[in-house]
Structure 1
């Protein structure tokens, strides 16, 4: 099982003002893996609306299902391929799309159906099981941990979780450690001075500490927002670990449950996500070329908008792929259509692809995991199907 070393790390300050204090973020996890390829998994908690992120404007039924949301954006959606258009809040990602470093899969889902519970849906997503609508049994592990078990020669402690609690996606038999970030703002002036001297005297931490202090001070003086400071600290910390022995990272964003006033809420979340991806690209530098980011959510949202300017829990959703290693510029997946007869339960986007299949092929292509190991151990009972060739 994962060891739970809740330690006051000298590196804790670097994310203490971000992951521990931010309502948008939950733990960050890292793992070493063979080779130079890198995988970052972002869990979007709350059920991101894939039909708003990636708008099927070429479907004749879309506008009628979403008369307010489809017409309410302050800026025009960004055409991708003549059928799908990207939400305008993601405008900063268009250079990645044009460079072939951004792609999507639409109408995807885990095997979870019907009850549409966030808690069960997220557990099924992180566990990677074929558990239909029921809760997981106690002691369940995560698919990313099971993937690590298929990679020989990993050192103990190669996987690290940063945050108030571990993520299920990395729970399991593969060795891992957990680090508890400390919010430096609650320390006394004397303790802060001691922490500053401790970091500043260590050549491994002096520069990251200085950058973190600068971000904190800029947020306090209003030169940058507190949210920007937290995001930049997180991206810098993740990139720093991936520049070392870590090859796998996982963290999560909350706030995607947009039942009300979705226009404003989703635009903010998508803007934050886009900025995080761009910050990772900048921080990783040349290593971006060997990196794939997968952004996953527990389920989609209803095809129809509701009466309060939002959407409710649905089924089929969208998957985001980014990184210099990605063969992007594509929207993958079979489009089921939005006519009422084509919807799941006559209310949700019908899933035509298993979200786990994309994650499985990513592990195969990035780290050389055998198809038999992915179908037998990482995602039991999953039939991977044809390789979508996610890498360049």
Structure 2
């Protein structure tokens, strides 16, 4: 039977990718012994790492991106003479100065070439290499981490959205909860729905009901503090659980698919990211010192801007790290360069390290997980390589 909830779920099929849709935002938690805390934030839609952390010291960047603003002369905040922080991420600058924010460029999962949001996110959360589709028996890599930690107990888990995150699915027990979702439609989207469902009374009436819900809740959303309000609430709520028994948390922030109008798209997305991270830091208080935050996305975006003031699906991306437990205020890893011979497939930033390696070293340092278990069980097929020294 079609109702408002099923209509809202079906509406996620509209747009470039349902995998990047706001209703897919999720949150999960797990409890574990000890005082160290790990938070994984998934940015759904493939964040443009070269816009977030701009390698303006590479002269080729400005040649590839003539419309997208680059560098301190355009408002970006210089970090080390080579990299600059996007102006909309300025609220995170105090973390950088305090040694609580770092990043690694040119990272990726083993996923290559097909550049599907769904597949890319599946592989990122599965952590198993290049296996498709997602293996629900093996589950996600955070769930397999729990299986290697003695004394792990079940803790209430929360899934904010219509799906639970695959990164914590698997054999280890955890719980989930889905609140009522709030779908916001633009006037253009409402007109499209009315046109598509005009000759189908059932869907037409459901569409009308959905737009009424939006009208009823729109003022409330505006009063809640703009596009960063929901993400800020995620960070605040995560902090309350992490201050209790929870030690491992994961949630997602949607809205990073920037094929067109990248400036406007990322402005809202950066506000959400800043809101979630700063509210998490504030809420954790003294426990922030024992916390590591990994901010990951399914893949990067093309080096060259496209004709729609945006960037397309790419390969190498950026990993953000935050928390009092990291050695921040620095860039990790090597920069591959943006010369034509340096690019992957003549279009993308060349990956120089598996993003899973940073997650693996975080698990090793925070929870004492043996290297063999990380490479063979939690993140099978991974060569951890040398320790990047990301933890304080």
Give the TM interval when normalised to the shorter protein.
Answer: 0.7 to 0.9
State TM-score, norm by structure 2: 0.81
Q: State the 1:158 CA deviation.
A: 3.0
Distance in 1 (CA, whole Å) between partners of 2:333 and 2:68 is 23
Secondary structure at the counterpart of residue 162 of structure 1: coil
Distance in 2 (CA, whole Å) between partners of 1:182 and 1:266 is 26
Distance in 2 (CA, whole Å) between partners of 1:137 and 1:34 is 28
Q: State the 1:357 CA deviation.
A: 0.2
Distance in 1 (CA, whole Å) between partners of 2:338 and 2:156 is 42
Return closer, same or farther for 1:222/1:178 CA change in 2, 3 Å cut-off: closer
Distance in 1 (CA, whole Å) between partners of 2:223 and 2:230 is 14
Range with bigger deviation, 267-276 or 340-349: 267-276
Q: State the 1:320 CA deviation.
A: 0.4
Q: Identify the residue that residue 193 of structure 2 maps to in structure 1.
A: none
Alpha carbons 1:33, 1:367 under 8 Å: kept: no
1:158 equivalent in alignment to 2:161: no
Return closer, same or farther for 1:348/1:229 CA change in 2, 3 Å cut-off: closer
Q: State the 1:227 CA deviation.
A: 3.5
Structure 2 matches for 1:52-63, cutoff 5 A? 52-63=51-62
State TM-score, norm by structure 1: 0.81
Distance in 1 (CA, whole Å) between partners of 2:318 and 2:221 is 38
Structure 2 matches for 1:1-392, cutoff 5 A? 23=22, 26-71=25-70, 76-131=75-130, 134-137=132-135, 139-155=137-153, 157-158=154-155, 160-163=157-160, 164-182=162-180, 220=220, 224-392=224-392
Distance in 2 (CA, whole Å) between partners of 1:221 and 1:384 is 44
Distance in 1 (CA, whole Å) between partners of 2:177 and 2:222 is 30
Secondary structure at the counterpart of residue 175 of structure 2: strand
Question: Gaps (5+ residues) in structure 2?
Answer: 1-20, 183-216
Distance in 1 (CA, whole Å) between partners of 2:181 and 2:61 is 45
Alpha carbons 1:281, 1:288 under 8 Å: kept: yes
Distance in 2 (CA, whole Å) between partners of 1:32 and 1:87 is 35
What's the C-alpha RMSD, in Å, of the aligned pairs? 2.3
Q: How many residues align?
A: 338
